Chains A and B, each alone.
Chain A
Amino acid sequence: MAKTHVSTIINGEPVEFLCEPQQTLLDVLRDELGLTGSKEGCSSGDCGACTVICDGNMVCSCLMLGAEAEGRSITTVEGVAQGDHLHPVQQKFLEHAALQCGFCTPGFIVAAKALLDENKNPTEEETRYWLAGNLCRCTGYDKIVRAVLDAAAVMRAEAAE
């Protein structure tokens, strides 16, 4: 079958690729573009390890076809830090030891960043509901939630400066 030619924006950069009709955006990111930060956990939209932001909406890249990315703007975990400067969410994940095996971490980072882009001062409950689509088998979630709330506080303080 003919491959589809796709022009899209990934982490702010124009990107072109060819993909098979059934290839997911996650397949394309990992196998065609070498962006292996997004992880394949369940392939059914349950675990959130493949979370990316597409035109401002958080989506599971395993549930989106690569061909659908035409003309869209995608942010992956690779686009969260500014060069060597970690995003506050990433910094706080380190400080709070909000990861153990790390497999779920890219999805959590993208989801947490999306939360804080939308809600500067989320409650613990809002944070837990927002992150309900990201599964972690190691941490028990508590350190993740602390890290996100702490990152929110840092971002509010930075914005106030």
Chain B
Amino acid sequence: MPNLSFTAPTTVDEAVRMLAGGAGLAKPLSGGTDLLVQLRSGRMRPEAIVDIKRIPGLIGIREEAGEFVIGAATPGVMLSAHKAFEHAWPGIVEGADLIGSQQIQGRASLAGNLCNASPAADSVPAMIAARATCVIAGPNGRRTAPVEAIVIGPGRTSLEKGEFIVEFHVPKPKPHQSDAYLRFIPRTEMDIAVVGCGVNVTLDGNGVCTDARVVLGAVAPTQVIVEDAAKALIGHRLDEITNAALDAAAQRACKPITDKRGTIEYRTKVAGVLARRAAKLAFERAGAR
């Protein structure tokens, strides 16, 4: 990396100029827990690193009318320490909290986890399930996109040159609405998801599901919104028949690969199981509100 530059701008406009300015690859740096590994291995050869953490608002969580606004570079430790957000969206916090060790949690951010664009990213399914959106700054100003529009394939995002995520907007849950995220790994800590599943449900006063979103991770090139799984839940309580329909819908949505963490058959089977378990948790939480 003979020509690498490092800058730490304090405004969004300045950061966009630095990211868009050069001919070569420019990377925004938030927690760096993926970027620095890629830099060292030579897998990523940027000419500019732009540290976005000095921009006001990029770190921190604020509550606005009807929503939470989370700075793109907010580290995991801040997310899990925010009681109101954890109460509102326990599944998002569960997912983010599963990323790496306590040391990684000191730095790793939602935007980094999303833009690293791994199909197995643990914070992403629950964010999509919660219908979170992101504000993206770029040379043409700001735009808003749903979280599911960012990852387009392993390691690839829809962000244009010069664009970076500034913040996430997560709507506050409605009455009887809650979520859950579960992932399966062969041990208890420090691994990458074989399958991950985020479920967000809204119930009526009788425990019947009125709205749902089921999102799978690590079973396709991107996270998958399983429309049929949501359809299986809406209008029903979580009984045996609903569970069977949910399980089958989750399995049908899988287009996984076989790798050292699991085969196609195994991942597909586990996706159905995790969808049922995450739905059970989300229904219990939503019902308790």
Interface residues of A (CB under 8 A from B): 1, 4, 20-22, 24, 43-46, 48, 51, 54, 57-60, 62-65, 67-68, 70, 111, 114, 129-130, 132-134
Minimum CB–CB distance from A14 to chain B (whole Å) comes to 19
Please determine whether B33 and A63 come into contact, CB atoms closer than 8 angstroms: yes
Identify the stretch in B99-107, B214-222, B259-267, B268-276 within 8 Å (CB) of chain A at 4 or more residues: B99-107
B49 CB within 8 Å of chain A:
yes
Q: For A57, what are the chain B residues with a Cβ–Cβ distance below 8 Å?
A: 75, 77, 106-107
Minimum CB–CB distance from B27 to chain A (whole Å) comes to 12
Show 7 A/B contacts (Cβ-Cβ < 8 Å), sorted by A.
Answer: A21-B1, A21-B5, A60-B104, A63-B37, A65-B29, A65-B51, A132-B101
With A1-B3, A57-B77, A64-B32: A133-B190 Cβ-Cβ less than 8 Å:
yes
Closest partner residue, chain A, to B190 (CB atom): A132
Q: For B51, what are the chain A residues with a Cβ–Cβ distance below 8 Å?
A: 65, 67-68
| Bound Cα distance A150, B250 (Å) | 47
Please determine whether B5 and A133 come into contact, CB atoms closer than 8 angstroms: no
With A43-B40, A45-B33: A58-B102 Cβ-Cβ less than 8 Å:
yes
Please determine whether A59 and B36 come into contact, CB atoms closer than 8 angstroms: no
Q: Which of B26-42 contact A (CB under 8 A)?
A: 29, 31-33, 36-37, 39-40
| Bound Cα distance A111, B49 (Å) | 29
Please determine whether B36 and A24 come into contact, CB atoms closer than 8 angstroms: yes
B205 CB within 8 Å of chain A:
no
Q: For B104, what are the chain A residues with a Cβ–Cβ distance below 8 Å?
A: 45, 60, 63, 133
Please determine whether A63 and B107 come into contact, CB atoms closer than 8 angstroms: yes
Interface size on B, residues (CB 8 A): 29
Please determine whether B36 and A58 come into contact, CB atoms closer than 8 angstroms: no
Please determine whether A1 and B2 come into contact, CB atoms closer than 8 angstroms: yes
Q: For B49, what are the chain A residues with a Cβ–Cβ distance below 8 Å?
A: 21, 65
Q: For B29, what are the chain A residues with a Cβ–Cβ distance below 8 Å?
A: 65, 68
B84 CB within 8 Å of chain A:
no
Q: For A4, what are the chain B residues with a Cβ–Cβ distance below 8 Å?
A: 6
Q: For A60, what are the chain B residues with a Cβ–Cβ distance below 8 Å?
A: 33, 103-104, 107
Please determine whether B189 and A132 come into contact, CB atoms closer than 8 angstroms: yes
| Bound Cα distance A4, B106 (Å) | 24
Please determine whether A111 and B32 come into contact, CB atoms closer than 8 angstroms: no
| Bound Cα distance A67, B32 (Å) | 13
With A65-B6, A70-B8: A45-B103 Cβ-Cβ less than 8 Å:
yes
| Of B2, B53, B102, the contact of A111 (CB 8 Å cutoff) | B102
| Bound Cα distance A22, B190 (Å) | 26
B145 CB within 8 Å of chain A:
no
Q: For B39, what are the chain A residues with a Cβ–Cβ distance below 8 Å?
A: 22
Closest partner residue, chain A, to B78 (CB atom): A57
